[in-house]
Amino acid sequence: MVKTRTLLFQEFPNDVLARIFRFLDCKTLLNCELTCKRWSNVIEEHLEALPKLSTDQIRILFDEAEVFIYPIDEKRCPVRYAMPSLQLEKLLRANRDTVVDIGLEECSPPHLFTDQLLDALLPGLTCVRLWNNGKSGNYGISDRSINKLAR
């Protein structure tokens, strides 16, 4: 009978993996998230403690069921990152300390954009730009959120 060996790295407890992940840059962390389900879960569970992209604006384009994030920094050009699934609220919460501006243009499906989504960014949000021609439906953002923003 042949005995298979597992890598020592695979035997690390989740909290040790999370501590190791803290030393990685954002691009490497995104690649690690795609390595296996366990690593993806560890990264998601410890997201608040992991490195973030330094950005004041996030541009999200919906293109054939893929989401791309363009962090914009005054010193760097936009960088394109693919997200395997739409976790928009988590993304906004993770960047709430630096994002001050959000713009939504003809985004589909519109039911993803709700008061709860904007609440994830308040009170630091200073600008919301909405554009919708109504073809895909209306955004679920109410006057309540707009009034909160105006205060």
Contact, 95 vs 58, CB < 8 A? yes
How large a percentage of the chain has pLDDT more than 90? 10
Who wins on pLDDT, 82 or 145? 145
- For residue 144, what is the enclosing H or E element? helix 143-150
Choices 1.25.40, 1.20.1280, 1.10.3470, 3.50.70: CATH for 1-51: 1.20.1280
Average pLDDT over residues 66-93: 60
> Model confidence at 83, in pLDDT bands (50, 70, 90)?
low
What is the predicted pLDDT for the residue at 135? 74
Whole-Å CA distances, 102 to 9, 18, 38: 40, 30, 32
- Judge whether residue 145 has pLDDT over 70: yes
Angstrom distance (rounded) from CA 43 to CA 104: 28
The span from the CA of 111 to the CA of 60, in Å, is 16
Write down the pTM of the prediction. Answer: 0.48
Indicate the domain borders of the chain: 1-51, 54-151
Q: Given a cut of 60, is residue 132 above it in pLDDT?
A: yes
Span 47-68, pLDDT tens digits: 888 877 666 566 665 554 455 5
> Each residue of 19-49: pLDDT tens digit?
999 999 887 888 888 888 999 899 988 988 8
Q: How many residues in total does the chain contain?
A: 151
Structure tokens at 41: 């879960």
CA dist 35 and 100 (Å) reads 32
**Whole-number pLDDT of residue 101:** 79
Q: What average pLDDT does range 112-137 have in this prediction?
A: 75
Of 69 and 87, the structure prediction assigns the larger pLDDT to 87
As a whole number of angstroms, the distance between CA 111 and CA 79 comes to 27
pLDDT value of residue 65: 46
Q: Which two tokens stand for residue 105?
A: 């243009």
